[in-house]
């Protein structure tokens, strides 16, 4: 590379030609025409053409010949093909360049007589990408049979990127008068995209794309050497920044989960990635454009990867590109966003979310994501509405669009009409009032009208959750999901790190109990540092206690950390996914060994220990008496219990809401468990999501549950409902309908009616 920025190196010939073509022309069509003319002459080919995707993007959209030099001009805006059809369609579909010396012999070649393309032998097509979206295809063809050089492919990719910006920019400025009307570019209509609510709430705000596109003004390098220096400086700053994150020098919340950033460091030093960036700058792009180009290629590839683990890794690499862009723009790493920003991203890591100023974020919308992802968990902990799996939303949104996020229904309204806004605002106001009302209840206990005292506990797992204990006025942590710490790390948390987290949780709770659930790993909860073992049915595969008992090393290590964290305190632990009583007995024995070991080493022991069992397999419900002989308490993991009860995958959007937890069948198993535990004198609680929904929570209280553990957002609504409830009266409504002879499909209607009659706020 050129080290001295003062020596002006000229961008390649093609780039100069493009620059010239871009100056002084008016309409987009003219620009496209000039563009293809410049490409044709400087690359010395017979044909240069632009194909653009028409509106109705995605499946079914057509690629339309939009400008050409060398094919018949009469075919412009007439010749069309589907993505996947012919060579051009193939480039659009794969989002990769296609370089052929003998195009007609390619199996996908499709002959279009109206274009007069018979005599052309070589073909080079590159995708026109923007923000991971394919806008079209740029093609050059020549009569002589030759394979295009790698530099030529690079150059054409660069040109394609410049082209994408021009097209989008013109459309934005030109509005209705845009020459490319009908081409699928930036959207303007109101639209609703349906996704799933992963963190509840409502929000109204302004769209901010997690990856804003590069300003078109800076695409072409004036001085390549200068750009090379800028790029190198940014790379070294990026490395410094990532190193600092790994060593924990970055302030605030990120320190708690700095292991996340180790993966980033690997990429920041990745030679291939850096090599691609350098190549792109040498081909005539500015440093920003180089980053953008390498990322676009990367993203197009990413969209085709199915394996979630690999996607997550590739995603880290994408995030680095954004950090680079911000460094090049002279911005800090903290992301500055306007007030009430609704953040849109394909996928977002927890660290990335935490880079934003929480005060300014109104909501998050993701094309992907899962309810159990760390980002969803953190969003819930921060009280930030999050809609995930909003498929295609990034193709429909532009920076600055107004947005309504309905994370109750899982819907995202883009560019809403006034009437939609008015209705939504009403709901927002009601919600705001309710939040204030829940705040008032913070210091009151959840006691029903007929005097039943109910503990309302928090489900937690990370440091970020702990402040919620006081903010929500929870009675303790009913479920501490210890695997979260393992999942957000790229390396196995050491004993000291585990101990520290558990100790902090116990300290944050003060006199209130904290129940640690031992690692619930496996299935789809794969750790970056664990070799994934492919399984047909991970949810019913080798997971949780099954791994813990087969490979006791990891579980003993964790139990050791728990014993150390509980020194002098009250320690409560429970084991997940127990299916037969013997598993629980074996797990307890492992725990006893750790207590004995600590005692032998003269360590301070917990002042009080309770070992409980999670009841989350139907099989264990049928052994509840037997397990009560050994367990200090039972916690019903209703998420899993009901997924196995209904044989309905809790993470599969198609079926997860299909069966009603308030059906007589589900309620009778919950009632059975509560009754048996009471008869055995064993305390019982419920810690699945249903515990945080007012109707379900009231039904559980009516059935005899006196402890419910839930996401933070459930505590206010459940408390206000429980305080207005007469539990015995509701029991009289529910119990007669639990008989196996009942024909009732759900108790939901009856309970809702009961609430209406008794003025219970739900």
With beta carbons less than 8 A apart as the criterion, state whether 691 and 700 touch: yes
Active-site pick, 90, 210, 374, 413: 374
Residue 501 binding target from ligand PEP, Mg ion, none, CB below 5 to 8 Å by type = none
Percentages helix, strand, coil for the chain (3-state, rounded to 5) are 45, 15, 35
Nearest to 234 by CA among 295, 355, 356, 323: 323
Least spacing, CB of residue 643 vs ligand PEP, in Å: 8
Burial of 94 (0-12, 13-18, 19+ CB in 10 A): middle
**Under the criterion CB under 6 A, does residue 687 sit at the interface with ligand PEP?**
yes
Of 528 and 637, nearer to Mg ion (C-beta) is 637
| Shortest Å distance, C-beta 577 to Mg ion | 7
User: Binding to ligand PEP (CB under 6 A): which residues in 462-521?
Assistant: 479, 481, 520
Nearer to ligand PEP, 490 or 520 (CB): 520
Minimum CB–partner distance for residue 638 and ligand PEP (Å): 5
Q: Given phi > 0 = left and psi -120 to 50 = alpha, else beta, which region is 416?
A: beta
120 vs 645, beta carbon nearer Mg ion: 645
Shorter beta-carbon distance to ligand PEP: residue 11 or 688: 688
Residues that bind Mg ion (CB under 5 A): 616, 637, 640
Q: Which helix (H) or strand (E) holds 525?
A: none
Choose which of 69, 134, 223, 639 interacts with ligand PEP (CB under 6 A). Answer: 639
Give the nearest distance from C-beta 372 to ligand PEP in angstroms: 7
Q: Is the dihedral of CA 532, 536, 538, 543 positive or negative?
A: negative
CA atoms of 441 and 145, how far apart (whole Å): 79
- 8 Å CB contact between 414 and 401: yes
Compare residues 211 and 572 and give the one whose CB is closer to ligand PEP: 572
Q: How many residues does the chain have?
A: 762
Stretch that binds ligand PEP, among 92-100, 194-202, 465-473, 638-646 (CB under 6 A): 638-646
For residue 226, the SS3 value is: helix
Q: Which residues contact 743 (CB under 8 A, 6 or more apart)?
A: none
With 0-12 / 13-18 / 19 or more C-beta atoms within 10 angstroms meaning exposed / middle / buried, residue 631 is buried
Of 426, 420, 388, 389, the residue nearest 404 (C-alpha)? 420
Work out how close the CB of 578 gets to Mg ion at its nearest, in angstroms, rounded to a whole number: 11
Q: State the binding string over 604-633 for ligand PEP (x if CB under 6 A, else -).
A: ------------x-----------------
Specify the residue, 566 or 637, whose C-beta has the smaller distance to Mg ion.
637
Binders of ligand PEP among residues 548 to 577 (CB under 6 A) are: none
Partner that binds at residue 481, options ligand PEP, Mg ion, none, CB closer than 5 to 8 Å by kind: ligand PEP
Q: Are strands 341-345 and 202-209 parallel, antiparallel or unpaired?
A: parallel
Shortest separation between residue 489's beta carbon and Mg ion, angstroms = 21
Residue 388 phi, psi dihedral angles, 5° rounding: -115, 175
Q: Is 755 a catalytic residue?
A: no
Pick 335 or 650: Cβ nearer Mg ion? 650
Give strand pairing partners of 356: 335
Q: Please give the order of strands across the beta sheet that includes 402-406.
A: 191-194, 411-414, 402-406, 202-209, 341-345, 361-366, 386-388, 196-199
**Least distance (Å) from ligand PEP to the CB of residue 613?**
13
> What is the smallest separation between the CB atom of 479 and ligand PEP, expressed in angstroms?
5
Nearest to 413 by CA among 154, 573, 190: 190
Cα diameter, the chain? 91
Nearer to ligand PEP, 406 or 465 (CB): 465
- For residue 481, the minimal CB distance to Mg ion (Å) is 9
Residue with tokens 């990635």: 273
Helix (H, G, I), strand (E, B) or coil at 737: helix
- How far apart (Å, rounded) are the C-alpha atoms in residues 127 and 88? 9
Among 416, 637, 694, 714, binds ligand PEP (CB under 6 A): 637
Q: CA torsion sign, 622 to 624 to 625 to 630?
A: positive
Exactly one of 90, 210, 677, 687 is catalytic; name it.
687
Q: What angle do CA 610, 612, 616 make, to 5 degrees?
A: 165
CB of 617 to Mg ion, least distance (A): 9
Q: How far is the CB of 721 from Mg ion (least distance, A)?
A: 24
Nearer to ligand PEP, 637 or 714 (CB): 637
Dist. CA 211–CA 169, nearest whole Å? 17
Residue 479, contacted partner among Mg ion, ligand PEP, none, CB below 5-8 A by kind: ligand PEP
**SS3 assignment, position 193:** strand
Which position among 490, 500, 583, 640 is part of the footprint of ligand PEP (CB under 6 A)? 640
Q: Is 687 a catalytic site residue?
A: yes
Torsion of CA 187, 188, 189, 195, to 10 degrees: 50
Report in angstroms the alpha-carbon separations of 224 from 155, 328, 426: 14, 15, 55
Helix and strand totals (H; E) in the chain: 27, 23
Residue of 658, 694, 673, 662 lying closest to 628 (CA atoms): 673
Residues in contact with ligand PEP by CB under 6 A are 479, 481, 520, 616, 637-640, 687-688
Which are the catalytic amino acids? Answer: 374, 687
């Amino acid at each position: 590379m050129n080290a001295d920025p003062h020596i002006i190196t000229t961008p390649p010939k093609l780039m100069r030609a493009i620059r010239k073509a871009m100056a002084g022309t008016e309409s987009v069509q003219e620009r496209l025409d000039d563009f293809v003319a410049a490409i044709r002459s400087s690359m010395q080919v017979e044909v240069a053409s632009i194909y653009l995707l028409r509106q109705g993007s995605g499946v079914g959209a057509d690629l339309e010949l939009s400008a050409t030099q060398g094919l018949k001009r009469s075919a412009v805006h007439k010749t069309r093909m589907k993505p996947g059809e012919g060579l051009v369609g193939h480039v659009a579909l794969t989002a990769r360049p296609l370089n052929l010396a003998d195009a007609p012999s390619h199996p996908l070649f499709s002959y279009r007589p109206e274009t007069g393309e018979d005599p052309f032998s070589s073909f080079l097509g590159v995708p026109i990408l923007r923000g991971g979206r394919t806008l079209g295809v740029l093609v050059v063809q020549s009569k002589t049979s030759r394979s295009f050089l790698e530099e030529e492919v690079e150059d054409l990719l660069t040109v394609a990127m410049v082209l994408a910006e021009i097209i989008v920019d013109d459309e934005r400025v030109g509005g209705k008068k845009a020459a490319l009307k009908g081409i699928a570019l930036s959207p303007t209509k109101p639209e609703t995209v349906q996704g799933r609510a992963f963190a509840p709430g409502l929000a109204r705000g302004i769209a901010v794309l997690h990856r804003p596109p590069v300003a078109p003004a800076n695409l072409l390098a004036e001085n390549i050497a200068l750009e090379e220096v800028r790029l190198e400086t940014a790379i070294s700053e990026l490395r410094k920044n990532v190193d600092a994150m790994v060593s924990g020098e970055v302030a605030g919340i990120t320190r708690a989960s700095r292991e996340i950033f180790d993966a980033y460091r690997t990429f920041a030093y990745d030679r291939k990635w850096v090599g691609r960036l350098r190549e792109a700058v040498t081909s005539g792009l500015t440093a920003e454009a180089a980053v953008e180009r390498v990322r676009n290629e990367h993203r197009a590839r990413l969209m085709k990867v199915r394996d979630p683990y690999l996607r997550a890794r590739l995603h880290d690499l994408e995030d680095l590109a954004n950090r680079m862009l911000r460094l090049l723009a002279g911005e800090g790493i903290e992301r500055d966003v306007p007030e009430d920003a609704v953040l849109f991203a394909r996928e977002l890591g927890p660290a990335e979310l935490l880079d934003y100023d929480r005060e300014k974020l109104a909501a998050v919308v993701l094309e992907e994501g899962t309810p159990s992802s760390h980002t969803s968990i953190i969003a819930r902990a921060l009280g930030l509405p999050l809609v995930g799996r909003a498929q295609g939303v990034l193709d429909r949104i532009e920076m600055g669009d107004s947005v309504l996020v309905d994370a109750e229904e899982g819907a995202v309204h883009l560019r809403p009409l006034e009437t939609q806004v008015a209705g939504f605002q009403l709901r927002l106001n009601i919600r705001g009032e309710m939040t204030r009302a829940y705040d008032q209840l913070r210091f009151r206990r959840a006691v029903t009208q007929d005097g039943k005292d109910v503990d309302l506990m928090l489900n937690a797992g990370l440091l970020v959750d702990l402040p919620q204990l006081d903010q929500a006025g929870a009675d303790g942590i009913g479920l501490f999901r210890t695997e979260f710490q393992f999942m957000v790390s790229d390396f196995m948390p050491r004993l000291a790190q585990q101990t520290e987290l558990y100790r902090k949780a116990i300290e944050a709770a003060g006199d209130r109990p904290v129940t640690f659930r031992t690692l619930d790993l496996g299935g789809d909860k794969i750790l970056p540092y664990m070799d994934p073992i492919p399984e047909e049915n991970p949810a019913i595969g080798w997971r949780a206690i099954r791994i813990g008992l087969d490979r006791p090393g990891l579980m003993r290590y964790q139990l050791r950390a728990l014993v150390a964290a509980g020194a002098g305190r009250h320690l409560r632990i429970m084991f997940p996914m127990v299916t037969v009583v013997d598993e629980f007995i074996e797990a307890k024995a492992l725990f006893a060994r750790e207590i004995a070991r600590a005692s032998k080493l003269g360590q301070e022991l917990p002042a009080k220990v309770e070992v409980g069992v999670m009841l989350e397999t139907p099989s264990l419900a049928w052994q509840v008496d037997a397990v009560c002989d050994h367990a200090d308490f039972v916690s019903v993991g209703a998420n899993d219990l009901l997924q196995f009860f209904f044989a309905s995958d809790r993470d599969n959007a198609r079926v997860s809401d299909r069966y009603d937890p308030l059906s007589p069948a589900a309620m009778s198993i919950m009632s059975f468990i509560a009754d048996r535990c009471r008869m055995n004198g064993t305390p019982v609680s419920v810690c699945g999501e249903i515990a945080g929904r007012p109707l379900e929570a009231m039904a559980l209280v009516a059935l005899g549950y006196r402890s419910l553990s839930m996401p933070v957002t459930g505590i206010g609504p459940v408390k206000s409902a429980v305080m207005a409830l007469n539990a015995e009266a509701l029991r009289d409504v529910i119990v007669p309908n639990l008989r196996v002879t009942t024909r009732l499909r759900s108790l939901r209607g009856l309970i809702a009616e009961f609430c209406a009659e008794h003025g219970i706020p739900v």
